[in-house]
Amino acid sequence: MSEAQNPVVLITGAARRVGAEIVRHVHRAGYEIALHTRDPSPEALALQAELESIRPGSSLLCHADLGNTTALPDLIDTTLARFGRLDALINNASTFCPTPIGSTTELQWDTLFASNAKAPFFLAQAAAPALRQSQGCIINITDVYGERPLLQHTVYAMAKAALRMLTLSLARELGPEIRVNAVAPGAILWPESGKSEAAKQSLLDKTALRRVGEPADIARTVLFLLRDAPYLTGEVIKVDGGRSLVI
């Protein structure tokens, strides 16, 4: 297939929540999208259909278990086979669950590190040759808790801290051809497992803007890093409403 005329972005965990909002923003800006999901879910199929109704031929749906490291290069190869180029990798996929000290299992450790740290590293490694050729970029979606601990979520915070350091290290190692940055969300969407109203209010009381953010806040920041920040690398932009200002 001939090379796509528009820039091409591979986004992991693309079907739902913040990932889907990033997909829509980036697609509206004229990018072709390779949407990664673990399985061919109804949400993924509906999102691709939405993109194709706007601009036919502008999307690719690809599946992989991010815990299976040997499958990760195939995501890059599949994208290149479809579009002929790769301009950006967005490591958005994430697993989140509590890991209280005393009851955390090795499986929980492996699962949290697989999506939040290990897969982003090996995807970046596989994507690097194509990104060097396109003078592209990598954007990692980390978390404000990668810099400060979240009670009863030690392993998650450790994995996001690893992703933050991966961002800084890759920025040094992959420059000057490839820019590498990260976005650290604060209170954007409440956990799917639920959060009590008291806990929500307590968190918002410690946020300078005193309100929850929106997935679009993250998507706009990602698009800025993709399109409008050619001299920015090795940065972690906090999109947290000022949560990190309050101890």
Alpha helices in 84-153 (DSSP H): 106-113, 119-134
Q: Is residue 30 part of a domain?
A: yes
Q: Is residue 246 part of a domain?
A: no
Among candidates 83, 115, 95, which has minimal Cα distance to 9? 83
**What does the pLDDT read at residue 123?**
98
Q: Is residue 247 part of a domain?
A: no
Task: State yes or no: is 31 an active-site residue.
Answer: no
Answer whether residue 238 shows pLDDT above 80.
Answer: yes
Q: Is residue 2 part of a domain?
A: no
Instruction: Note the pLDDT tens digit of each residue in 117-167.
Output: 999 999 999 999 999 999 999 999 999 999 988 899 999 999 999 999 999
User: Does residue 189 or residue 27 have the better pLDDT?
Assistant: 27
pLDDT bracket for residue 245 (50, 70, 90): confident
Among candidates 158, 163, 113, 112, which has minimal Cα distance to 139? 163
Place of tokens 């890991």: 99
Instruction: Note the pLDDT tens digit of each residue in 7-50.
Output: 999 999 999 999 999 999 999 999 999 999 998 899 999 999 99
CATH number (domain holding residue 148): 3.40.50.720
**What does the pLDDT read at residue 206?**
80
Q: Residue 154 CA to chain centroid, in angstroms?
A: 20
Q: Is residue 245 part of a domain?
A: no
**Whole-structure pTM over 0.85, yes or no?**
yes
Q: Is residue 158 part of a domain?
A: yes
Q: Are 110 and 97 in contact (CB under 8 A)?
A: no
Average of per-residue pLDDT across 215-222: 96
Answer whether residue 202 shows pLDDT above 80.
Answer: no
Instruction: Note the pLDDT tens digit of each residue in 59-112.
Output: 999 999 999 999 999 999 999 999 999 999 999 999 999 999 999 999 999 999
Q: Is residue 109 part of a domain?
A: yes
Which is catalytic among the residues 31, 145, 156, 231?
Answer: 156
How many domains does the chain fold into?
Answer: 1
Question: What range defines the domain where residue 101 resides?
Answer: 8-240
Q: Is residue 3 part of a domain?
A: no
**What does the pLDDT read at residue 228?**
97
The tokens describing 125, both together, are 């490694």
